[in-house]
Amino acid sequence: MEYTSLGRTGLQVSRLCLGTMNFGPQTSEENSYTVMDKALDMGINFFDTANVYGWKKGEGVTEQIVGRWWAQGGSRREKVVLATKVYGQMGDWPNESKLSALHIKRAVEGSLKRLQTDYIDLYQMHHIDRSTPWEEIWQAMEQLVQEGKVIYVGSSNFAGWHIARANEAAKQRHFMGLVSEQSLYNLAERSVELEVLPASLEYGLGVIPWSPLAGGILGGALQKVSEGRRMADHVQERIEKLRPQLEKYEAFCKDLGEQPADVALAWLIHQPAITAPIIGPRTMDQLTGSVRALEIKFSDEQLEKLDEIWPGPGGAAPEAYAW
């Protein structure tokens, strides 16, 4: 396994991050334990979850599964850099969502209890909260850091200007601010190259791409369709919409001698500011196969070909659309 610093911090994390969103709804608790144990065996030390995962309001199903896994001992907790999130709806009353100081306090206490741990390594804001001032958010986060309940703070689904505003506000308070941003980023969705990636590079944030396979589209979708595998209607519609690009992409991967999913992950790891794509395996084969991405290297010509198949926005703003 390869390791890198998370943004401008000294924290060392694996180049692949284990996503746990499937734990509970799609992967049984027993199989989730097996996946997490195998991830540790492979050297993956970066796990990502959220208080809303499990999709039963207020229950934190996935966090509970991870917590019961910690409880088995074997220094599991000590080996893992744990990332979870705050923002989502955890109840039906006011102040049970978003980023008010009150909700942040309640949310972190709930996550710590479910996860059966004393601290969270990376506490991520799951979405921008346009109604809460940064003075309030940072005061709440500073308190958690002082109490030792949170070590680092990150964001998710922030725009570039949100990152800039957040870290400028933190700088005024002599607080470290955001150290990471978790964004939607893959070959088929490259909008973050306009402003999120440049802002992250400028402020020293490590970028953690979610949905690196575009919901499975980049994981050999055409081959799976030809094999008769059933897919949701919205997935089939997207496959048909992107069929010309997917045909070229899967042919490119075949010529390269690599699996499409591995190529998609390898391409992300190659991009500037990227710390670790989030892999969300439902099966052991999906987990073990993903490490191949760390070994794939591209020539300049191959990268140009991928840009031709999956064109980005043209680089960073404003040059991408002006001069």
Q: Which two tokens stand for residue 122?
A: 């990376």
Three-state secondary structure of 14-43: ECCEEECCCECCCECHHHHHHHHHHHHHCC
Rounded distance between C-alpha atoms, residue 47 and residue 14, angstroms: 9
The pTM assigned to this predicted structure is 0.96
- Averaged pLDDT in 10-residue chunks for the chain of 323 residues: 97 98 94 95 97 94 98 96 97 95 98 98 98 98 98 98 98 98 98 98 98 94 80 85 95 96 97 94 85 95 97 96 94
Instruction: Say what the pLDDT of residue 234 is.
Output: 82
- Does 228 fall in a domain? yes
Is 321 noted as a catalytic residue in this protein?
no
Instruction: Say what the pLDDT of residue 288 is.
Output: 87
Provide the CB-side half-sphere exposure for 162 (13 A, CA): 21
- Does 177 fall in a domain? yes
Q: Which of 3, 33, 53, 87 is catalytic?
A: 53
239 CA to centre of own chain: 23
Rounded distance between C-alpha atoms, residue 67 and residue 29, angstroms: 11
What residues make up the domain containing 10? 3-309
- Does 32 fall in a domain? yes
CATH number of the structural domain spanning residue 161: 3.20.20.100
Instruction: Say what the pLDDT of residue 15 is.
Output: 97
- Does 286 fall in a domain? yes
- Does 314 fall in a domain? no
Instruction: Say what the pLDDT of residue 36 is.
Output: 96
- Does 92 fall in a domain? yes
Instruction: Say what the pLDDT of residue 223 is.
Output: 84
Domain count, the chain: 1
- Does 318 fall in a domain? no
Instruction: Say what the pLDDT of residue 113 is.
Output: 98
- Does 152 fall in a domain? yes
Rounded distance between C-alpha atoms, residue 163 and residue 168, angstroms: 8
